[in-house]
Amino acid sequence: MRRRLKVVIPDIRRREKILQIRSLRKVFRTGASDLTVLEGIDFSVQKGELICILGRSGCGKSTLLKILAGFIPPTAGRVILGEEPVVRPGPERCVVFQEDALFPWLTVEENIAFGMCQHRWARKEIGEEVDRFLSLVGLSEFRHYLPREISGGMKQRVALARVLILQPRVLLMDEPFAALDAQTREEMQQLMLSLWEKLSHTILFVTHDVTEAVTLADRILLMGKDPGRVREDIRVDLPRPRKRDTEAFLFFCRRLFEGLRS
Ligand SMILES: Nc1ncnc2c1ncn2[C@@H]1O[C@H](COP(=O)(O)OP(=O)(O)OP(=O)(O)O)[C@@H](O)[C@H]1O
Ligand SMILES: [Mg+2]
């Protein structure tokens, strides 16, 4: 009798593919000429992955994120979320930008509740969820403050809480901590990692900061420029919490710095 071969499939293959990006191309028509910003972008995202998109200024990172969010259409190619093509913005894909986009006339808790109110959740449920997310981002004591009365880091915590509360299938983040000072930025990275471990959401995080990418990512998509392409897809298999002064951490940083330079 023939013996059956036992195939061991790595864990990652068994996870659900949540987002597929196929042959994406984006051309902006500017006056008389065309500017090809993205070309041949192809990758998939597994459920629960934390992917950093790393690249130099102008390589098309924000354009890619805007297409994934459904804010702008690609010139060619497809984005598929689960089984459905992405053709417009939707609550299952939330975006956090660098500059906070809080409503200045609403308090911290009202800003966090805003999206839920739009989706007609029950009042009691909204109250409970807002309490939970205020506590998760450490802002319970500041719930009645207005955006102008809190710091930049606190504003980004509100921005994070108000999208996470909607339980998006994919969270898109465009350099969300770039405007913060170094220490606050590190605190925000740790907060984001702890929320990701608790809530297991899927994140695409745009940055041009190598250390930030190695601190956060399961996978780093290194983008090249003119036109923007994914040049390398690097798995970062370092255990967490990651120490920045270890040889393994610095190895990834060196490799990425070289990639950005070439
Ligand atoms: N609406 C638009 N019309 C014309 N050109 C655009 C438009 N949006 C972006 N671009 C161009 O596309 C290129 C990529 O821009 P994008 O904002 O995606 O880069 P980025 O990688 O996010 O840069 P940064 O790191 O500075 O944020 C740039 O040359 C930019 O000028
Ligand atoms: Mg950008």
Predicted pLDDT of residue 14: 54
Predicted pLDDT of residue 107: 97
pLDDT tops 50 at residue 10: no
Band (137; pLDDT cuts 50, 70, 90): very high
Band (125; pLDDT cuts 50, 70, 90): confident
Nearest listed ligand to the Cα of residue 228: 1
Pairing of strands 76-81, 17-30: antiparallel
160 near 96, Cβ under 8 Å? yes
Tell me which residues have their CB closer than 6 angstroms to ligand 1. 28, 30, 35, 37, 55, 57-63, 208
Ligand 1 atom with least separation from CA of 175: 27
Mean pLDDT of all residues in 21-44? 94
Q: What is the pLDDT of residues 198-243, one digit of tens each?
A: 989 999 999 999 999 999 999 999 999 989 999 999 999 999 999 9
Distance between Cα 61 and ligand 1 center (Å) = 8
Predicted pLDDT of residue 7: 45
pLDDT tops 70 at residue 3: no
Predicted pLDDT of residue 6: 45
Mean pLDDT of all residues in 1-10? 46
Distance between Cα 62 and ligand 1 center (Å) = 7
Residue 174, C-beta contacts closer than 8 angstroms, at least 6 positions apart: 61, 62, 65, 95, 96, 97, 98, 206
Band (159; pLDDT cuts 50, 70, 90): very high
Domain boundary assignment for the chain: 105-167
Using N-to-C axis directions, what is the helix angle for 123-136 and 152-164, rounded to 10°?
140
Predicted pLDDT of residue 115: 85
* Alpha carbons 63 and 74: distance in angstroms, whole number: 9
Among the listed residues 40, 27, 3, 54, the one whose alpha carbon sits nearest the alpha carbon of residue 261: 54
Say what percent of the chain tops pLDDT 90. 80
Q: What residues does the ion ligand 2 have nearby, CB within 5 Å? A: 62
Q: What is the pLDDT of residues 162-185, one digit of tens each?
A: 999 999 999 999 999 999 999 999
pLDDT tops 90 at residue 16: no
257 Ramachandran zone, left/alpha/beta (phi>0; psi -120 to 50): alpha
Predicted pLDDT of residue 118: 79
Nearest listed ligand to the Cα of residue 225: 1
Band (13; pLDDT cuts 50, 70, 90): very low
Q: What is the pLDDT of residues 94-123, one digit of tens each?
A: 999 888 789 999 999 999 999 888 777 777
